[in-house]
Structure 1
Amino acid sequence: MRYIVIGAGAVGGTIGARLFQGGHDVLLIARGAHYDTLHRDGLRLITPESDETLDIPAADGPVPTRDGDVLILATKSQDTVAALSPWPTGLPVVCAQNGVANERMALRRFEHVYGMCVWLPAEHLRPGVVTANGHPYSGMLHVGRYPQGVDELAEQIATDLGKRGLVGRATPEVMRWKYGKLIGNLGNAVEALLGRVDGMGEVVTRARVEAMAVLDTAGIAYATSEEEAEVRGRRVGILPIEGAERGGGSSWQSLARGSGSIETDYLNGEIVLLGRLHGVPTPVNEVLRREADRAAREKLPPASMRLETLRALIDERCAT
C-alpha cells in the first residue's frame, strides 16, 4: 500500500514522515518552494527527540496511480476541491483536516471516504522543514469511514500510523470526534488575530459556548473536552524544541506565511452556517470568521488586532 499525502505541510508532512519511518511507501505532494526543497533535499522533520532529514519521494502534482494507493488529504479546507480534482475517483480518500465539511465534499466524487480527527501540534513555516512538538508521540489520529463505521482499510491505516511516532485509533464515530475538535479549533481565529494575550480566553470561551448551543439545537453529537483529555492522556503533550520557538496553530501559520487565505470559513464559519440553518444566533463566530478572512486577504501578520478592538466588534454584532 502506498500513501500519497496531498499537502505535505505541518500535518501532512508529519504524517508522511512518520509513515515513511515506519517502513511504508510514501509520496508527498507539495507546491512551489516547498516542493523544490523536498525534491532536492528531502523533508527535514524536527521533533523534541530528533532532527532528521528523510529522503521521501515528492511530486508537485498528480502522478500515475496503482492498486493499493491511499490518498491522505492534508490541505486546508478551502483547497479541498481543487486538491482532489486531478485524482482518480476510485481511490480511497482520508481527510486529515480540521473542520467537518471536507468528507462531504470528497464524497460527491469519491466512493470511499474516511475521516481523520487530527491531534498533532506541528508547524511548517520554511520550505522543506516541519517541526512537530508532540511528545512522547507526535500526534493521535482517529480514523473511520464517512459518515460512520470502521472497515478493514480503516483498521489498517490506524495500525500503520501507530508503527512510528503516532497513535492511530480506528473509530466508528470519527465525525463525533471531529465535531469535538471543531469546537476546540474555534480559538484558532482568536490566536491568529490577537496572538497569545491575557484575556483572549474569554473570547474563545464565548465562541465555544455559542457553538455547543448550535450543535445541541441541530442534534449533532460531539466529543467533549473531558473525553478528549481522557483518550489523549499524556501521549501527545507539547514540548519546546531548542532553536524552534513555537508560533501558533494552523490559522496563525496561514497569516504568518502570508498565504492570502485561511480556513476560518470552515471552522467558525461552520458554526455560523449551522446557526443560520437552525435559527441560532452566532455573533461571536461571525465576527471571528469575518475578521480572520479579512486579515488573510489583506495579508496582515498574526497578532495585528488588539483584544479591545475585537471585543468591541463582537459587542457591536451582539447588539444588532
Structure 2
Amino acid sequence: MRYIVIGAGAIGATIGGRLAGAGREVVLVARGAHAEALRADGLRLTTADGTRVHRLPVVTGPDGLGELRPDDVLLLAVKTQDAIAALDEWGDAEVAGGGTAAQRLPVLCAQNGVESERLALRRFVRVYGVCVWLPATFLEPGVVSALCAPLTGILHLGLAAGGADARVRRIAADLEAAGFEAAVVDDVMRWKYAKLLGNLGNAVQATTGPEPAPAKAALLLRARREGEAVLRAAGIAWASAQEEAAAREGKVVPEAGSGLRGGSSWQSLQRGTGSIEADYLNGEVCLLGRLHGIPTPVNETLRHAANIFARQSLPPGAMSIEDLTSLADEAESRR
C-alpha cells in the first residue's frame, strides 16, 4: 500500500513520517511554504526516539502523481473546514485500471470532530473514521514534533458507517509497526464523539492560552455538559471517560521538558492560517442543540470567539478567561 497523506500538518506529517520510518511508502500533500520546505529540506520530525529527516515525495494535489494506484490509501488530515475542497479534488482523481479515487480507493478521516466522515460518505464509497489521540506540534514549515512515549499516539479505526474489514486491519498493522497503538473497532464514531466532547475546550485554549487554570476547566465543564445533553437528545452514544482512560493510560506521555504548546486550534491561530475548526467542534454541539431544542449558549460563545480570533488574525491567548467566561454568562442569561 502507498499512503497519500492529504494535509501534512501536525497529525498528517507525524503519521506519514512514522509510516515512512517503518518502511511504508508515503506521499505528503502540502501547500505553500510548508510544501516548499518539505521539498527542499525534507520533513524534520522529532519524536521521543529523536529527530529524523524524512525525504518523501511532496505534491500539492493529485496532478503531481498522475494516475493513482489501486493500492493507494488516502489519509485525510486537513482541518475539517478544508475537507470539502480536498475530498472533491482527490475524489475525482483517476485510478489506473479505470474509475476514480472516490469509486475505488479508501479514505481515512483523521480529524477532530465528526463531520468529515459525513462529507466523505457523500463522495467516497470506502470511508473510514480515525479517532486520533496524538499530541503533536506544527508551527514552522517543514518541522513537526510529537514528543510522547512509549507510543507516539493512539488511533482507533473502523468503517465510518460501522464495522470493520480486512483493509482497515492491514492499515492498522502498518500503523502498529510505525509506533502507534491502532485499535480496530466496530464503533469508531462512538470514540470520535467522545473525543469531540474533549475538544470543546480547544476554543478556550486558543483564545485564552494553553496554561491550565481552574476557571478554564470550569468553562470547559460547562461546554461539555451542553455537549453531553445534545448527544443524549440526539440518541448518539459516546465512549465513556473510563473507556478513554483505560485506552490511553500510560501509553502517550509527553516527554519532560517538551514545553507548553497548545492544541490544534491554538496552533492554527499561532500560524495565522485565517481559519479555525470551531464550527465543527463547538458548532457541532450548537447544530445538534438547535435540531433537538437544547440551548447551547456556552458552546456558541466559544465558537463565535474562536472565529473572531481566526478571521481578525488575533494572537492566541489574547483574551482573559474572565472575559470569555463573562461572555458565556451573558449568553446563558439571554437564553
Secondary structure of the equivalent of 2:177? coil
Give CA deviations for 1:254-310 in whole Å, capped at 9, x if unaligned: 010011000000000000000000000000000000000011000101101111111
Quick one: which of 75, 80, 84 aligns to 1:81?
A: 84
Secondary structure of 1:175's match?
Answer: helix
Q: Tell me which moved more, 43-52 or 137-146.
A: 43-52
Question: Residues 29-40 of structure 1 correspond to what in structure 2 (within 5 A)?
Answer: 29-40=29-40
Q: Which amino acid aligns with 1:223?
A: A
| Whole-angstrom distance in 1 between the partners of 2:177 and 2:57 | 20
Q: Find 2:227's aligned residue among 200, 204, 211.
A: 211
Cα distance in 2, alignment partners of residues 190 and 18 from structure 1 = 30
In the other structure, the counterpart of 2:11 is 11
Match of 1:284, SS?
Answer: helix
Residue 145 of structure 2 corresponds to 131
Aligned pairs (5 A) from 1:297-308 = 297-308=311-322
Whether 1:201 and 2:217 are equivalent positions in the alignment is yes
3-state SS of paired residue (1:158): helix
Measure the CA separation in 1 of the matches of 2:136 and 2:78.
14
Q: Distance in 1 between matches of 2:198 and 2:144?
A: 23
CA pair 213-258 structure 1, distance change in 2 beyond 3 A: same
2:129/2:189 contact within 8 Å kept: yes
2:329 equivalent among 284, 299, 315: 315
Contact 1:124-1:131 at 8 Å conserved across structures: yes
Instruction: Please say if residues 140 and 167 of structure 1, whose CA atoms lie closer than 8 Å, have aligned partners that are also in contact.
Output: yes
Instruction: From 189, 192, 196, give the equivalent of 1:175.
Output: 189
CA RMSD of aligned residues (A): 1.0
Matched, 1:295 2:298: no
Deviation at 1:48, TM superposition (A): 2.7
Retained in 1: the 8 A contact 2:87–2:123?
Answer: no
Superposed, which structure 2 residues align to 1:98-247 within 5 Å?
A: 98-195=112-209, 196-198=211-213, 199-241=215-257, 245-247=259-261
Q: What is the CA distance between 1:246 and its match in structure 2?
A: 3.5
**1:41 aligns to what?**
41
Give me the TM-score of the superposition, normalised by structure 1: 0.97
Runs of 5+ in structure 2 lacking a partner? 91-100
Matching of residues 260-299 of structure 1 within 5 Å: 260-299=274-313
Alpha-carbon distance in 1 for matches of 2:75, 2:47: 22
Query: Who is 2:94 aligned against?
Result: none
Deviation at 1:135, TM superposition (A): 1.1
Aligned counterparts of 1:157 and 1:303: Cα–Cα separation in 2: 38
Counterpart residue type for residue 317 of structure 1: A
Query: Displaced runs of 4+ in structure 1, greater than 3 A?
Result: none
2:204–2:220 contact (8 Å) kept in structure 1 = yes
CA deviation string 1:121-179 (max 9, x = no partner): 00100011001022111101111001101001111111110002211111110000000
Q: Distance in 2 between matches of 1:223 and 1:133?
A: 26
> Counterpart of 1:282 in structure 2: which amino acid?
T
Give a deviation string over 1:195-235, Cα, whole Å, max 9, x none: 12522110011111111111111110001221111011211
The Cα of 1:241 is off from its aligned counterpart by: 5.0
Q: Which amino acid aligns with 1:76?
A: K
Q: Which SS does the other structure have where 2:294 is aligned?
A: coil
Q: Which amino acid aligns with 1:39?
A: R
Contact 1:133 1:241 in 2 (8 A): no
Task: Tell me the CA shift for residue 37 of structure 1.
Answer: 1.0
Range that drifts further, 81-90 or 67-76: 81-90
Structure 2 partner of 1:68? 71
The answer on whether the counterparts of 1:6 and 1:12 sit within 8 Å (CA) in structure 2 is yes
Out of 271, 278, 300, the position equivalent to 1:257 is 271
User: Structure 1's 7 and 241: CA in aligned 2 closer, same or farther, altered over 3 A?
Assistant: farther
Identity %: 54
1:48 touches 1:241 (CA, 8 Å); kept in 2?
A: no
Size of the alignment, in residue pairs? Answer: 318
